[in-house]
Amino acid sequence: MTISRLVRLWMVSSLPLFLFCLAAPAGAQQTFRVRLLGTAGPSLTPYQAEAGLLVVVGSGANQELLLFDCGRGVPVNLAQIGATLVNKVFLTHLHSDHTEGLPILWMNENTWSSRGTAPLSVWGPGQDVDQPAGTGEITSQLATAFATNTHIRRDLVELLPGSSIQFQTHVITGEGIVYQNNGVTVTAFLVDHHPVKPAFGYRVDYQGHSVVFSGDTTASPNLVKYAQGTDVLIHEVIIESPTATTSNNPILAYHTTPEQAAGIFSQVAPKLAVYTHIVGAVGSGPQGLVGRTRAGGYPGPLAVGQDLSYFDIGDTVSAQICPTPAPSVAALTTGSYQNKVSAGDTVIVWGSNFTIGLDRLVFVPASGSRPSVVLGDGDGLYFWDQSTNQINATLDRRITPGQWLVYVLTGCEETSFPLTPVTIN
């Protein structure tokens, strides 16, 4: 299955939410991918990281990996997709949910060594009246606070490269182009997150295509200006009661409601509008958020982001919205509920977060001596029991006796899922 053939929104209840389909040429090489690494606001949600977004453009030696914001959990999600070598970070503003992951990205042994000899380059706002510490102060004080960790790992035990534990800090002093390399251009523009000031949004342009990331903001005419002609507009949102006002909810004043976002999306008319940094929980999940946006007057292509979802940008836009939390297998039994499973048996797969018609069951040989086996709806051996939320599958002849590792694969091919050991007799 390729992601270029179908755009889906994954279900949060028993019914999938399907919003739009945008085709891309089969087999077309994608060189401009945007990945949501964290879609929550300030939170400790186990399955959802705070703010973070990765832009991947180009390939090979000319590939650029650009990280926008680095909230809690973002470095873990980078590791999950194999992108720990990120060394360029652009901060929209300095709220904790946009910066908590920065120390981990900088000094974790894995990310540190992945950068090779490159420093961690960080772009972001400077000091202001209500901003006593700007990006420069944050990076310099992190270096001081964790000098012991740096000394031990650099000089005494692991002997990690000293150059890659350095910060290269770029304080953004105004709107305009802040980065250009390998054909990619990053432009910073001001948004309205008052009293957080300055706060930036970013536009990334590459080979005639673009993505715009709002950062945190209330409805901003300046964002509409900078987002004109963009392929994908990724925007924050706050979900509070439609009757809420700034007088009884001051946080409402510096975020964007679904109704305000509908006006922004209508003015920009992107190929795809995407919600991220979803603050609050009033309403019926993604369906309620989409419903309020439609009621606000925006009829166009719209997705509600989940962590690790991605968007490939070219002449058309394709997307894969990944489920949160990911599916997992707890156990396999026979139809008579016995744990002793033999080749050719029809089995019941017990687990959680399965998705009707979209998941596939993967058997990986523990020894690596045989090819993996994938079971899905198309082979007639597999079906999803909606009433019990179980997968039922007949083990085909390739699943021979021996040790196997089993997991459920969604459309998010690059996302790793827990492996469950199974013995086939």
Per-residue pLDDT reduced to its tens digit, 141-192: 999 999 999 999 999 999 999 999 999 999 999 999 999 999 999 999 999 9
Please report the pLDDT score of residue 331 as a whole number.
87
In a shared domain, residues 314 and 341: no
Per-residue pLDDT reduced to its tens digit, 48-86: 999 999 999 998 889 999 999 999 999 999 998 889 999
In a shared domain, residues 269 and 383: no
In a shared domain, residues 130 and 244: yes
Please report the pLDDT score of residue 192 as a whole number.
97
Question: Pick the residue with more confidence: 380 or 50?
Answer: 50
Domain boundary among 320, 343, 378: 320
**Mean pLDDT score of the chain:** 86
| pLDDT average, residue stretch 20-34 | 52
Residues facing residue 61 across a β-bridge: none
In a shared domain, residues 166 and 283: yes
Please report the pLDDT score of residue 25 as a whole number.
34
In a shared domain, residues 282 and 405: no
Domain boundary among 259, 286, 320: 320
Q: How many domains is the chain built from? A: 2
Pair 209, 237: CB distance under 8 Å = no
Please report the pLDDT score of residue 407 as a whole number.
85
For 156-195, give the DSSP string: ISS---SGGG-EEEEEE-SSEEEEEETTEEEEEEEEEETT
Structural domain including 361 reads 328-424
In a shared domain, residues 418 and 294: no
Domain boundary among 320, 337, 369: 320
Token look-up 């925007």 returns 235
Q: How many CB atoms lie within 10 A of CB 62?
A: 12
Per-residue pLDDT reduced to its tens digit, 391-406: 888 888 889 999 999 8
Please report the pLDDT score of residue 46 as a whole number.
81
In a shared domain, residues 145 and 59: yes
Per-residue pLDDT reduced to its tens digit, 296-312: 999 999 999 999 999 99
Please report the pLDDT score of residue 315 as a whole number.
94
Per-residue pLDDT reduced to its tens digit, 34-55: 999 999 999 998 889 999 999 9
Q: Please state, in angstroms and rounded to a whole number, the distance separating the CA atoms of residues 8 and 4.
A: 11
Closest alpha carbon to 375 in 345, 408, 326: 408
Global pTM value: 0.81
Q: Please state, in angstroms and rounded to a whole number, the distance separating the CA atoms of residues 304 and 40.
A: 12
Percent of the chain with pLDDT over 70: 86
**Which residue stretches of 278-335 are H helix?**
285-295
Pair 239, 281: CB distance under 8 Å = yes
In a shared domain, residues 78 and 180: yes
**CB hemisphere CA count around 325 (13 angstroms):** 11
In a shared domain, residues 200 and 94: yes
Per-residue pLDDT reduced to its tens digit, 120-143: 999 999 999 999 999 999 999 999
pLDDT at 14 over 60: no
Listed in sequence order, the residues at least 6 apart from 397 whose beta carbon sits closer than 8 Å to its beta carbon are 343, 344
CATH of the domain at 338: 2.60.40
Determine the distance from the C-alpha atom of residue 48 to the mean position of all C-alpha atoms in its chain, rounded to a whole number: 9
Per-residue pLDDT reduced to its tens digit, 323-379: 777 778 888 898 788 778 998 888 888 888 776 555 678 888 988 777 888 887 666
CATH of the domain at 105: 3.60.15.10
Measured N-to-C along each axis, helices 285-295 and 258-268 cross at an angle, to the nearest 10 degrees, of: 60
pLDDT at 197 over 60: yes
Q: For residue 259, what is the DSSP state? A: H
In a shared domain, residues 31 and 156: yes
In a shared domain, residues 266 and 339: no
Please report the pLDDT score of residue 237 as a whole number.
97
In a shared domain, residues 92 and 186: yes
